[in-house]
Amino acid sequence: MTTPEALELVSGERMRRDLFLLSSAPLPFRTVRYTRPGSSVCSLREVDGMVASCLVEAGFRVSETRQRVQAFRCDRGKPLHHWYARPEPTDPWYDAFNVEGAREGRDLPGEIIQLVSHKDSMSWIDSPGALDNGVGTVANMELARVLAKVPLRRTVRILFCNEEHTPWTSRAAAESAARRGDHILAVLNQDSLTGKSDRDAAQGRRTHAVAYSTEEGRALAHLLKRLHDAADIGLDLTLVHKERVNDDDGMFIQAGFRTTVMNVGSFPYADSQYHLEGDRPERVDIDNLVRSARLVLAAVLALDAEGEAALRPQG
């Protein structure tokens, strides 16, 4: 299969369906604190089941790692969008899980392309978290399905972690990878794809920012730009330097995996409903999401075909 053929397989319909399942019905939230009537597990654990069955169907080997987390407290006196507040040690602790899918490459299984997205919604308010980060979750699920149809030379891993509870579970995953000495070629974190300002939304702009915090991440961002232009993906694409090494990509950088970027709808993040109850799935620009997912897929395919050589500047 050629890259353009693979990119065509990305389905907006499937992503829309998954997005509403995860941020409307049956799951209005994805937290340790909310359990649906009649369910025996919390809504975040229900997400784990949906993600795992998607991965298994796509031929990925699934592993789960348990971690103790707390919900953030809510402080509405803090600035809008930033109401999360540190819990007290005596606040309840819950089980949360990293769910990871892996498909081993045929030729170079030791070389790993790592995709990441946090799957939880805000633990301090009742927000559907459609953009943050339903979209990254469903994009990575869709990439698993498309990759099922592609023979892989190298290994692709997809981590679904938790970043709206504390501590962030991506840190444990990144540190385990470092302890094992994993050879990770690149880390691509999908968080809040297509999230943009009301003005950009009104103008119909299909935005995508690739944010990098290291020199190696900058090379990866430039690969994405080259692939975007070559495949005519049609995004309003910006490459931006992200000063603060944070978010799930930052956890990988801190663990030593420096060829890392965050794919995000805008940077600085400009969604008016960021971390608010209004972050609903109806607001998500699915056409934008299809193009953003295609861009990430193009990067996976290039890294799978060429390995580190894909990251060298061309010409």
Give the C-alpha separation, 232 to 217, whole Å. Answer: 22
Q: How far is the CB of 161 from Zn ion (least distance, A)?
A: 12
Give the C-alpha separation, 224 to 218, whole Å. Answer: 10
Amino acid 6 reads A
* Eight-state DSSP code of residue 64: E
Q: How far is the CB of 216 from Zn ion (least distance, A)?
A: 25
Residue 258's nearest CA partner among 267, 245, 240, 243 is 245
Q: Which is nearer to Zn ion, 46 or 132 (CB)?
A: 132
Contact letters for Zn ion, residues 164-203 (x by CB under 5 A)? ----------------------------------------
Three-class SS state of 34: coil
Pairing type for strands 154-161 and 108-118 reads parallel
Q: Which is nearer to Zn ion, 101 or 129 (CB)?
A: 129
Contact letters for Zn ion, residues 196-225 (x by CB under 5 A)? ------------------------------
Q: How far is the CB of 292 from Zn ion (least distance, A)?
A: 17
Q: How far is the CB of 129 from Zn ion (least distance, A)?
A: 7
CB-nearest residue to Zn ion: 132
Give the C-alpha separation, 196 to 272, whole Å. Answer: 8
Q: What does the buried/exposed string (b/e) look like for 166-180 if buried means 16 or more CB atoms within 10 Å of the residue's CB?
A: bebbbbbbbeebeee
Q: Which is nearer to Zn ion, 51 or 311 (CB)?
A: 51
Q: How far is the CB of 132 from Zn ion (least distance, A)?
A: 4
Give the C-alpha separation, 100 to 159, whole Å. Answer: 4
Judge whether 184 and 100 are in contact, CB under 8 Å. Answer: no
Judge whether 83 and 125 are in contact, CB under 8 Å. Answer: yes
Total interface residues for Zn ion by CB under 5 A: 1
Q: Which is nearer to Zn ion, 192 or 259 (CB)?
A: 192
Contact letters for Zn ion, residues 112-141 (x by CB under 5 A)? --------------------x---------
Q: How far is the CB of 112 from Zn ion (least distance, A)?
A: 26
Give the C-alpha separation, 147 to 141, whole Å. Answer: 10
Q: What tokens does 165 get?
A: 């509870």
Residue 150 has φ and ψ, to the nearest 5°, of: -115, 130
Residue 179 has φ and ψ, to the nearest 5°, of: -60, -40
Q: How far is the CB of 195 from Zn ion (least distance, A)?
A: 10
Give the C-alpha separation, 97 to 217, whole Å. Answer: 27
Give the C-alpha separation, 273 to 122, whole Å. Answer: 12
Q: How far is the CB of 237 from Zn ion (least distance, A)?
A: 22
Q: Does 247 bind Zn ion (CB under 5 A)?
A: no
Q: Which is nearer to Zn ion, 137 or 259 (CB)?
A: 137
> Which residues of the shown chain bind Zn ion in the complex (CB under 5 A)?
132
